[in-house]
Each structure stands twice: as C-alpha cells, then as structure tokens.
Amino acid sequence: MEKVYITGHRNPDLDSVCSACAYAALKKNTDSTRSYVPVRPGHLSDSSKAILAALDITPPPYMRNVYPKVSDVMLKPDTKYSADMPLTVLAKEYSESNPSVVPVYEKGSFLGLLSVDDITYYFMQRLGNEGSIAGTPTIGELLREGGEALKTTDLFEDAKASLSGSKKRGLAVFDNDGFAGYVTRRCFLRSPSYKVILVDHNEAGQSIAGIESAEVIEIVDHHRLDASKTSLPIFIDTEPLGSTCTIVYQLYLRHGMMPDEYTARVLLAGLISDTLILKSPTTTHVDRETAHALARICKVTTEDFGREMFSHVESLANRDPEKAILSDFKKYNENGVKVGIGQCEVTTLKDMDDYRDDYLASLETVREQNGLDWAVVMITNVMKEHSILLTTGYRSEKHLPYRQICGRVYDMPNVMSRKKQLLPEMIYTLTSNFV
Ligand SMILES: [Mn+2]
C-alpha cells in the first residue's frame, strides 16, 4: 500500500506531533487505499517527552528526511541461486527476463551478485586459454569478487551517481540484518517521490529535510501561509485558530466522526499546550468549544488536564540555559534589525532569582552566535498569565510598554503570546521615530 507521511515542523512541539498522530488516525478511518504514517522531523524537548509519557501518548517516530532512498527502488530476489548449482539453472531465467544481475547464495547466505559481464568474462577467458569449452561450470566459479555495496538508507541520488560511476551493472544492498536486495541501472530511471501531508506548518523552510523532492498532498495548519507551489490541486485547511489540533478535531466533525478516547487525549494535549491552557490571546471560541468537547470524551476538565500537563515542565533552574532558550527561539528581521525571541514556559516565577543571571549571560551568547542585534526571551508563567522579559539590551528597548524590574529584566503582566503581544510591541519600537 502506498505510504503517506504526516509531519509537523522541525523542533517539534506538542501541537505538531499530536496533530500529526491524530490526523493519521482520522485518515486511516476515511481512506483505506493508503497507509498514513505520522512522523516527527526532529527531537522532542525533555518537557514534551515528560508530558507525553505522563499522558501515556506514544510520540510519532523520528524521520530524518523524505529524500527517496535505495530501499524505495531496490529489487528483492524471488529465487535463491546457490553457488554450487550448475550454470544451466540460470538458462530459463536468462531466456525469459534477461536479468543484468542475479544474487548468488552460499549455504543460505548472500555471496555476491553475478552479472552478465561475469558470465561473458568467464567464457571469453576460457575460450582464449583453452580454445574450446567443455563441461558446465557452477555459478560460484563465475562469480567475481564482490566490490562495493549500498545501504538501504542511502539516498537515491547518491546511489544513482555511484552506480553510474562504476563499471558494475548492479550493486548489492544491505540493511542492519544483512543482504536486503539489489539495484540495477534500470532502478534509477525515474526518481520516486514521497507523499507528505504537512500539519502545523506550511513553509518548506520549516519542514522535514528533503521536502522539495516530495509531493505535498495536503496542508492542515494555523500559521501564515507561505507554502510552495504544487503541481496538482491539493486539500488545504488553514484557519487562524489557537492550535492545529483544533482544526483536526473540526475535520473529524466534518467527516461525521468522533475521536476515540486516546485520540481525544492526544488532541487535547496539543490544543492545551499551544493555547497555554486556553489563556493565550490566540485562543478562539472554537478552541474553547473543542477543548471542552475533547475534555468530555477524556472525562477530565481542561483546567485539571492543563495543570497536570504543565506540572511536568522542568524548572528553568534545572535546565541548561542555552538549550532552554533555543528550544523555542524564532528569528525575525524588522527594519533591518535582526531580532530573536525565545519563549520558555514555567509554572511559577518565584524561583526566577535562582537562574536569571545565568539566562541573561546565555542569552547574550545566543545573540552573538546567531548574528542578532537584539535577543530576548520571555519566561511565561502559564498558570498566571504573566511573563518576565529578559533582554540583551537594544537602544529602542526603553520604548517597550513594560515596567523595568532591574537591569535587563522587564515585567509583563497579562502577556502570554510572542506573536500576538510581544512581537508587535518590539516591531513598534523598531519602526517608530521617537522624538
Ligand atoms: Mn501549532
């Protein structure tokens, strides 16, 4: 069955992985002609891992890229020819399909590929030396030394280049368990392309590696649209809602279906995480209704579910500051000023003094390493709708509408959203001419 991969963005967050899993479950129920496989193109943060484990949710498997690979085009042998068989056993095969190579085995394990060149070479050698040929050789006698081989995970383009650069007609392919199949030049006539559904993102730059060689067949997302051109009409559902999981739930309804309890939990986790327990200003009434519908299926309240989820978020004091800042860090270029904004979620701001100076120092390192003019990180208490802003200092910073607590630390009561609240204020200070 044809496979379709469903992937969220790189640096996957909970909305990204949860929407991929839940949408795969919906597609499985609505289309039995293909198999839908949720994947994640990056590693989960420790907090995300802890939350998923606590909720008994299995994250989608990691997938490095969607470039076509040798395993997608290799041939699997259907007949086992053993080295001690007489060459005559191949006569039928050659008269019927004229294979350019045939895999040869010894005591059941793979020995090498026998090519038509090997056969010609053997007979021409003997004719040259002996003048005529009597008797039938075994297959093993014709086999020449093995030479190079490929791995199932090798990229199609790389394998194509190494085969066309060699004198061989075919190459053996191995996986971790040993011989897996073989490829001939004919396998590389046309490049296969993976079919992919993008969830929680639509820009190629944020997607899984190799997306440019894949065929995007659907997009389900809640971000600004900057998708690549497609060759065929495709299904796109982008809505300005608080989470992609909300949209996926709406798609269940559109199909007249209800997610089962497990899938409802998966959807609720993504929704609660992206909307910061429905408190982020990105939250719409559709998100609230969806959350309550999902909570009913899970027999929980959204408040309890959210509190339980975020209780697994590690305190910033125990995390590596640089990693914590970079785990959710977005870069912008506004008026020629390069700005980076990180966001860390916490459940209390009381222990702030324990780590504030370390985070300020690491923030400066992050700014330098990324060639930025201004780097900030907002530390958001998801329980209280309150953030603290740490900044590396920039000349327009004094125009931010926040109270300065000390040095490069600002108080942001009621601020939770980077894209809807902080970013517009920062852009305003950069684009206004203050007199
Ligand atoms: Mn999202």
Q: Is the CB of residue 23 less than 8 Å from the CB of residue 4?
A: no
What's the confidence (pLDDT) of residue 268? 98
27 with 87, same domain: the answer is: no
Q: Are residues 81 and 105 in the same domain?
A: yes
Q: How many Å lie between the centroid of ligand 1 and the Cα of residue 274?
A: 6
Instruction: Give me ligand 1 centre to Cα 15, in Å.
Output: 5
**What's the gap in Å between 81 CA and the centre of ligand 1?**
54
CA distance 169 to 151: 17
Q: What pLDDT, on the 0 to 100 scale, is given for residue 47?
A: 87
Average pLDDT over residues 268-279: 96
In a shared domain, residues 230 and 364: no
CATH number of the domain where residue 163 is located: 3.10.580.10
- Are residue 306 and residue 350 in the same domain, yes or no? no
pLDDT tens per residue across span 89-119: 998 888 888 888 999 999 989 999 999 999 9
pLDDT of residue 146: 65
Let me know whether 77 and 62 are in one domain.
Answer: no
Phi, psi (rounded to 5 degrees) for 109: -105, 150
* Average of per-residue pLDDT across 40-47: 91
Average pLDDT over residues 270-290: 96
Same domain? For 227 and 375 the reply is no
Q: Are 386 and 250 in contact (CB under 8 A)?
A: no
Q: Indicate whether 333 pLDDT > 90.
A: no
Residue range 353-395, pLDDT digits in tens: 999 999 999 999 999 999 999 999 999 998 888 999 999 999 9
Task: Give distance in angstroms: CA of 320 to centre of ligand 1.
Answer: 24
Domain boundaries, position 234: 2-68+194-310
Contact 368, 347 (CB under 8 A): no
Q: CATH no. for residue 249? A: 3.90.1640.10
Structure tokens at 7: 């992937």
Does residue 78 sit in the same domain as residue 64?
A: no
**In terms of domains, do 385 and 421 share one?**
yes
Instruction: Please write the tens of the pLDDT for every residue from 162-191.
Output: 999 888 899 999 999 999 999 999 999 999
Instruction: Tell me: do 216 and 295 sit in the same domain.
Output: yes
Q: Could you tell me the distance, in angstroms and rounded to a whole number, from the CA of residue 143 to the centre of ligand 1? A: 57
CB atoms within 10 A of CB 70: 27
CA of 126 to the centre of ligand 1 (A): 70
pLDDT at 159: 95
Distance, CA 376 to ligand 1 centroid (Å)? 21
Q: Mean pLDDT over residues 325-352, rounded?
A: 91
- Taking the CB of residue 355, how many other CB atoms lie within 10 A of it? 18
Ligand 1 center to 71 CA (angstroms):
33
Q: What is the mean pLDDT of residues 148-173?
A: 92
- Residue 330 has a pLDDT of 87
Average pLDDT of 55-81?
94
Check whether residue 97 and residue 177 sit in a common domain: yes
Is 60 exceeded by the pLDDT of residue 435? no
Average pLDDT over residues 139-159: 89
- Out of 165, 185, 205, a domain closes at 185
Distance 318 CA to ligand 1 centre (A): 26
Lowest mean pLDDT among 31-35, 60-64, 140-144, 176-180: 140-144
Mean pLDDT of the chain: 93
- Looking at residue 335, which CATH number applies to its domain? 3.10.310.20
Residue 329 shares a structural domain with residue 420:
yes
Number of domains in the chain: 3
pLDDT digits 0-9 by tens, 193-232: 999 999 999 999 899 999 999 999 999 999 988 899 999 9
| Domain boundary, last residue among 265, 288, 310 | 310
Q: What is the pLDDT of residue 328?
A: 86
CA of 290 to the centre of ligand 1 (A): 15
DSSP codes, 98-151: --SEEEEEETTEEEEEEEHHHHHHHHHHHHHHHSS--S--BHHHHPPP---EEE
* Residue with tokens 């001939």, as numbered in its chain: 184
C-alpha 330 to ligand 1 mean position (Å): 14
From the number of C-beta atoms within 10 Å of its C-beta (0-12, 13-18, 19+), residue 433 rates as exposed
Question: What is the model's pLDDT at position 320?
Answer: 93
Helix, strand, or coil (residue 415): coil
Residue ending a domain, choose from 185, 208, 235: 185
